[in-house]
Chain A
């Protein structure tokens, strides 16, 4: 079980950087997420979480730091949060998430609020400075 592989995906024009690393406790999606086929990108992440969920860390902190994303990705973010919530409930572990948005990006903030209330998960929204 300790040999759960890591997911590391470098960012590109259309795909986000992703890190899912149990040992380091890093769960991250950042950059642009514009896949036409969102299942191809996030299917493996959801599978990974299933496996992770059989023996999760005592605390899981998921980070979303996205510049652009399409609606197909948003749906997958919801699936990821749902899965994390389930992992927390099944194992009695702590689960939370942080959603970064840029100053003035109301739609991103609005999406985060929608996710938080529809999934009912501890989702902190943090503003990032304009780089």
Chain B
């Protein structure tokens, strides 16, 4: 059965220049990886150092909000259900978080958020300065100042939603918009988009998805982050998975159709479906190349393990008989490591062809 998660996510996030979705373990190390991943992806589009710092600040504050307001004593599950998303959509960046909160905290949180949203820039500045002078620190440790800084830096209202789950807990969605292009007057991404993405990821057990330009060295931080999520697995599993990840990521860079401005657009996701780890890569591709790759993967999938080993050695020795497949050993390697071969599909979205490959381990 074909796994279409990646291709569906790709179409959901289709208009984004950059999307980063994370549903895994939340701790400060993840924040480090996330900033590294995003730094690689945004360095080309954000010229000004100030904008980049602002974006980093907003990401850090949002992320720490999850840690601050998240439920205490949470088990370090593979997928906690909490979500962190950064998207560059049209002329704006969006940072969205979703996390569990105790219902008793909703009142005070809502009050703070609405207060900050209702203030004029002047009044906000006054309140900000007063808070800086005031020694009193709120129970959660400076959340008020955080919200104020978010509004001051984005010059936009804070978007949020509480979804009640039961008598004790709710799910809190929170979204910031930072205009990269001050003229961007496109309607803000709705929080319902985040709900969709989260549902899609959860249903298919994905914990990381990244769409963007895979041309540059964006790969290393992705690997570190993935490593962090599989650190409890056996060394053998870790190695194989790592191997598949590297090949799949590099495959995007290699096969993605180049956009007009030279980007190599692709999408990557990783997850655990209950029995195996799942790694998917999607990228836009020229129809001809798509056909060739489909056939090539079909050929690899039809081979037994021994045949793959032989083929691997032959390519190692003599190179590829088909010069148009420049992937060398990568896909053979993935085919050797993955359970049931590589799932390869081509989907059409209007004119565009999206090639998706999924491997399980």
Contacts and interface: CB of A to CB of B under 8 A. Distances in A.
B298 interface: no
A68 to B, nearest CB: 5
A70 B132 contact: no
Interface stretch (A22-30, A90-98, A102-110): A102-110
B61 to A, nearest CB: 6
Interface string B51-62: 101101100110
B133 interface: yes
Given A68-B57, A71-B142, A74-B145, A106 B64 contact: no
A13 interface: yes
A38 B48 contact: no
A117 interface: yes
Contacts of A68: 53, 56-57, 60
B49 interface: yes
A36 B68 contact: yes
A107 B150 CA distance: 11
12 contacts: A13-B32, A68-B56, A70-B146, A71-B146, A72-B64, A74-B149, A102-B50, A105-B53, A107-B54, A107-B153, A110-B152, A119-B133
Interface in B19-64: 28, 31-32, 48-51, 53-54, 56-57, 60-61, 64
A78 B60 contact: no
Contact of B50 (A13, A38, A106): A106
B107 interface: no
A104 B64 contact: no
B132 A74 contact: yes
Contact of A78 (B48, B68, B133): B133
B67 interface: yes
Nearest to B147: A71
B60 A34 contact: yes
Contacts of B32: 13-14
B133 A118 contact: yes
Interface in A73-131: 74-75, 78-79, 82, 102-108, 110, 114-115, 117-119, 130
B113 to A, nearest CB: 15
B67 A70 contact: no
A70 B64 contact: yes
A36 B27 CA distance: 10
A34 B31 contact: yes
B108 interface: no
Given A14-B32, A36-B28, A117 B50 contact: no
Contacts of B57: 68-70, 107
Q: Which of B31, B57, B132 is most buried by chain A, counting CB atoms within 10 A of its CB?
A: B132
A105 B49 contact: yes
A2 interface: no
Contact of B60 (A70, A104, A105, A106): A70
Contacts of B146: 70-72
Contacts of A38: 141-142
A37 interface: yes
Interface string B102-124: 00000000000000000000000
Nearest to A106: B50
Contacts of A34: 28, 31, 60, 64
B134 to A, nearest CB: 9
Nearest to A82: B133
Contacts of B51: 104
Interface in B304-355: none
B60 A118 contact: no
Given A72-B142, A82-B133, A107-B54, 15 more contacts: A13-B32, A34-B60, A36-B28, A38-B141, A71-B145, A71-B148, A74-B145, A75-B132, A79-B135, A103-B49, A104-B49, A105-B50, A107-B50, A108-B50, A114-B128
Given A14-B32, A71-B146, A74-B132, A130 B49 contact: yes
B132 A104 contact: no
A112 B220 CA distance: 35
A44 B152 CA distance: 30
A82 B67 CA distance: 29
A14 B67 CA distance: 15
Interface in A35-73: 36-39, 67-72
